[in-house]
Structure formats: structure tokens, C-alpha cells
Structure 1
Amino acid sequence: MKVKIFKAEKSVNSKIDRYFGSGFYFDFGLEYDPLPGNVLHPQVGFSLLNIGDLDFGDAGKIPMSVNIGLALRPEFEGFGGLFKEPLFALDVVDITRNNGVDDDWGKRIRLGAEVKVWDNRFTSFIVRTGLYEGYPTFGTDFRIGIVNIQFATYAEEVGAYAGQDVDRRYTGALSIEW
């Protein structure tokens, strides 16, 4: 079970009204391997998020969403251990268009791919790329010993339809892992 805390502010006649709320929600998800033993290792996914909607009263509501996905993990050990274990994925989020924000399918499609450039006992380097709301994404994951460095960039559509108003974002992380 997860708990979401929500805070929103709105301005009315130069006075700030604050709404606070909390709520509980449940998610449900399934992964299915329809062709065991296939060299592509296809997987199909299904999820329900915020089952029954997440209602914060005056602060608003986060509607339930229905999502589907497909992933391929082909058997490929690369070239002498380099460029191995590729992953290709496609997700369609909010297929029932419950969020009520827009009708643009381009904002609901996610495509992605990753490959381990190398992976051994002491270091690893993973490269990821894809499309999020129609915009290119890129990410890396580099580990040396117990230090892991991650970087990603993606763009989010802040307009009503894909391609209208892009907001590019960057994120990074440094962690110690063992």
C-alpha cells in the first residue's frame, strides 16, 4: 500500500487559500510471459493505478488510470560481452482517458530501449533511450565499485497536445550501493 500526500495552492483576490489532503490508494499490476522459451522473451503488462480514484475533497482528485505495456528482452550476449541484454518496451498509459486533461494519444505513448554496454564485477555502464510524450529521452547508469552515477533527460509536454509546448528536464543521482 502507498500513501500520497497532496498540497495545492490557488490565488483568490490576492489571498492564498491552501488546501491540504491525504488519502490512501491501491494499485494492481500483472506481468505475463505469453511465450515461455521464446528467444525474444516477450512480456505483456497491465496495471490499474489509484483504484477507485484518489479524492482529496476540496484539494481535488487523482483519477484511476488503466495502463498496458509490451516488453521484449531478446537473448543476446553482445559482442564479446559488450552491448548485451537489450530491452525494448512500449507503454500506453491512461488508455481509458480518465484523467480528463486531453484527448491526445501522443502524450500517452512511451517507447524505450536499453543495453548494457558492459557489465562485470567491478563496473557497469548502461545506456537508455526512448520517447516520452513524443520527445526523445536519454539516460545512463555508470557503476564503479560501490559508487553509482545516474543521469537522465526527458521532455514533458505542458501544452494540450504533443508538440505544442515542451519542458525539458534533467535529473541525476549519486549513490553508494552494496
Structure 2
Amino acid sequence: MNRKTTSVALGSLAVTAALIGGAASAAAEVPAPGLAGIRPLGMGNAFIAAADDRNALYYNPAMLFAVKGTSISGLGVQARLDEAFNEVVNFINEHEQQFEDFDTIDATFYEELAPFDNKWVTAGASAYVDMVRPGMGFGVYSSGSGSLKIDRGVYEPRVSSKVIDDIVATAGAAMPLGRADITAGASVKSIWRRSSDRVLTAREVADFDPNDILSELEQADSGFSMDFGAAWQRPESRWTAAAVVRDAFGYIDGEPIDTALDLGGAFRPVRNAGVVREILFAADARDVFGGESLAQAMRLGVEVRFPRLAFRGGFHQGYSSLGASFRVPILSLDYAWYGQELGAFPGAERQNLHALEMRLGF
């Protein structure tokens, strides 16, 4: 692939994506729904141009052309846990007396609070069923997460919580454009979101009833969005370039969803060399008009695949990631450890998470 060809391909992808999703740089307040795969997360979540399995439906519909054969997920489940989540929960339980009686809060309380002060911790779970084959796919997933934060406050400590539960039905398709080796794809998403957002003072924590959050989650807001993707790959080439506009025309309960333009590239230097099935390098630039720093926007990853095993590594928002997979007929297991940035700039608020996925299907 020479420099001129590469420039033309990348330029075509960028123009196509920009024409389809001119609103990609528009500011929005509603977070976008999504189903992040554990395989991609292990390699820095760099998958816009690397998707070659069922994850293409959720990362870039244009990459559905790269899917080999038919994949049916009878049931897939994921779990994600912040390394510090249990520590924060234990802190609240161990200091139950202080939360019940504000006058008992002393210097020791604040010293033990310091490692968690004003930092979000998260736990989440997802479940999905889907069917993907070359050029098309559809699926339904539920993705929920709960976040917790304690801060010392001005006059007394506060506990903040956020709960978001999305149910999304999606379908996508891809087709070649017949010129310049470009494939275009699109997907539609119907969204139902339930959410709860609370801030409690230390005095209020003791009287808090979890049923209050459950009652808030009984009401769901509906929404809709579309993804538009493009991918470039010459026949027999080891290079792939891709772009996707995520959540174009999207809304939830009348509020616009945060739309983003993502770019990606992938290179497969080794295929079917002895016991090594494939070596994959990938790089993404996420939400290129979103105003984030380069470190936060970049995703870098590498994967080495064997017949039953795969190992991964990468960088996600400037933090390292590791992953591994084990696959046998009907069952696949994926694990990832990765860091992500919750603050406004790199290093502001790092969060480390463990993630596990089990999929039954073929």
C-alpha cells in the first residue's frame, strides 16, 4: 500500500463519515449507549478497523464484511468491576456509626477516606444475544452500571451514586460500494434507558432506602440512534482503514445523544504461521472532534491468536491494558484488565477495571 493510495483511502473515509454525520462535533449531554467487548478492551479497545467477529455489530457496521461465517450467541454475559469498588463499600460498612451520627466523625475517618475522596468507583454487568454473518447482523443487549463516590464535602461527607441500565435492540448491514475498495455499513438502534442519580449527605445515608432507587428505575426513557461506517481494504491486503459515526440522529427522551466520529487502522503482518493463527496491530482515534487530549482519544492494541488461546495488550486512554481468551466449541471466555480516565485530562482520575465475558454459542 503506497502513500498516495493510503492518503486517498483515508481521505475518502473521513469525507464519507463527515458527510454522513456532520453533527459529530456537536455538544450533547446524554451519554451514548454501547456494548464494549471484552476482547477489544484487552487490546486497548482499538477495534474500529480490527473488528472481524460479532463485535463488528457494535463497533463499526461496515466491518460486518470482515466477519467469517455465521456467529450465533445464544447467551453472552459480561461483568466489570473497579479494583477499588469493594474497598469503598467496605469503608461505608466499617464506618456505619459515623454515617449514622455525624458528631462521631473524627480525624481518623478523614484519613481513611483520603484514598477514595472524590473518586468514582464502578461495577457493571451486561447480557446479550445476537446473530452475525458476513454483511449483516442483529442483536439485543442489556448493559447496566452502578457508580459510587464519597467526598468529604464542605461541611460534611457526601455519598453520590449513579445507576444506568440500557436495553438496546440493534441491526446492521454492510455492502461494498463498488469502487476504491470501500465498504459502507449502517446500523439502527432502539434504546430504552433507566437511570438514577443521587447525592446524599452523611446524615442522609443512615436513613437511605435502596427501594427509592428501584422505584426510579421502574420508568424507562426511549430513544433511537444510528451508526454509519466505512472501511477500506484492498483484496488480499493486510491493511484496513475505517471510520464510523456513532449515534447519529440519536436521542433519549428527547435529549440528543453524544455523537462521535471515530477513525481506526489495523495491520495483520502474520497469518497462519505454524501455531500462530494471526498477529494483529490496531490503532483508533476516538471522538476526534470531541476536544479530548490525544492521549485520551487514542486506543492502541496488539493481539496474538492461537487455535484455542489468544493474548492481548495495549493502551486505553493512555493507560495499559491486558487480555486473554480461551475458546472451545460452544463456549468462549474473555478476560481484560484495563485503565480509563474519568477526569478532564490524562492522570486526573484513573480507574482500573477487571472485566470477564462468557459466551455460549457458535
Residue identity opposite 1:110 in structure 2: R
TM-score by length of 1: 0.78
Paired residues, what number? 162
1:110 aligns with 2:307: no
SS state at 1:44 partner: strand
Residue identity opposite 2:244 in structure 1: S
Relative distance call for 1:86 and 1:177 in structure 2 (3 A) is: same
What displacement does 1:21 show?
Answer: 2.1
Q: Which residue of 1 aligns with 2:235?
A: 36
**Alpha-carbon displacement from aligned partner over 1:94-150 (angstroms, at most 9, x marks no partner):** 1111xxxx532211111111111x21xxxx001111111011111111123433222
How large is the Cα RMSD of the aligned pairs? 2.6
1:139 aligns with 2:332: no
Q: CA separation in 2, counterparts of 1:146 and 1:136?
A: 30
Give structure 1 stretches of 5+ with no counterpart: none
State which drifts further: 167-176 or 132-141: 167-176
Q: Which residue of 1 aligns with 2:27?
A: none
Q: CA separation in 2, counterparts of 1:168 and 1:22?
A: 31
Q: Which residue of 1 aligns with 2:345?
A: 161
Q: Which residue of 2 aligns with 1:47?
A: 244
Alignment of 1:80-95 (within 5 A): 81-95=274-288
CA contact (8 A) 1:52 1:63 kept: no
SS state at 1:112 partner: strand
**Alpha-carbon displacement from aligned partner over 1:32-53 (angstroms, at most 9, x marks no partner):** 11x4344xx1111010111124
Q: CA separation in 2, counterparts of 1:64 and 1:145?
A: 38
Q: CA separation in 1, counterparts of 2:231 and 2:335?
A: 27
**Alpha-carbon displacement from aligned partner over 1:11-44 (angstroms, at most 9, x marks no partner):** 489898x5852111111111111x4344xx1111
Q: Which residue of 2 aligns with 1:64?
A: 259
1:174 aligns with 2:353: no
Residue identity opposite 1:173 in structure 2: E
CA contact (8 A) 1:70 1:90 kept: yes
TM-score by length of 2: 0.41
Q: Which has the larger radius of gyration?
A: 2
**Alpha-carbon displacement from aligned partner over 1:55-83 (angstroms, at most 9, x marks no partner):** 434xx5322111110111124433xx223
Q: Which residue of 1 aligns with 2:309?
A: 125
CA contact (8 A) 2:224 2:252 kept: no
Question: Whose relative contact order is higher, 1 or 2, with alpha carbons under 8 Å and at least 6 apart?
Answer: 2
SS state at 1:107 partner: helix
CA contact (8 A) 1:54 1:64 kept: no
SS state at 1:103 partner: coil
Q: Of Structure 1 and Structure 2, which has the larger fraction of its residues in strand?
A: 1
CA contact (8 A) 1:43 1:71 kept: yes
SS state at 1:95 partner: coil
Residue identity opposite 1:114 in structure 2: E
State which drifts further: 2-11 or 87-96: 2-11
SS state at 1:106 partner: helix
